[in-house]
Amino acid sequence: MIKGDIILIPFPFTDFTGNKLRPAVVLIETDYDLTVCFITTRLKWKEGTDIELSSSSITGIKKPSLIRLSKMATVDKLLAVGKLGELQPKEILEMNTKLKKLFQLT
């Protein structure tokens, strides 16, 4: 898996009471882990660092969605259920720019 891949993964709830199988975008892959951001269809949750995704065969997303860059997790790569699709270079560039903003690196 590489940066920008959209995968299915059991993503933990922020209160750690459980998890939900959901799409996520890969930020970093190491030997054993993936750092990912979750994707939601709840467009009303949109924050300034979120990225809007349209449904498409390239991304594998079936409904308009948001990449929630502020909702990250590092998980064992064996938890990845499968690849749905991938971001386009333009979307990866937007993700990089918004991650810098989120972490106040610019």
Task: Output the tens digit of pLDDT for each of the chain's 106 residues.
Answer: 999 999 999 877 878 898 889 999 999 999 999 999 999 999 998 999 999 999 999 999 999 999 999 999 899 999 999 999 999 999 999 999 999 999 999 7
Domain ranges of the chain: 5-102
DSSP state of 99: H
Q: Domain 5-102 - what CATH class? A: mainly beta
Distance from C-alpha of 38 to C-alpha of 27, rounded to nearest angstrom: 11
pTM of the model: 0.90
Q: 2, 60, 59: which is closest to 27 by C-alpha?
A: 2
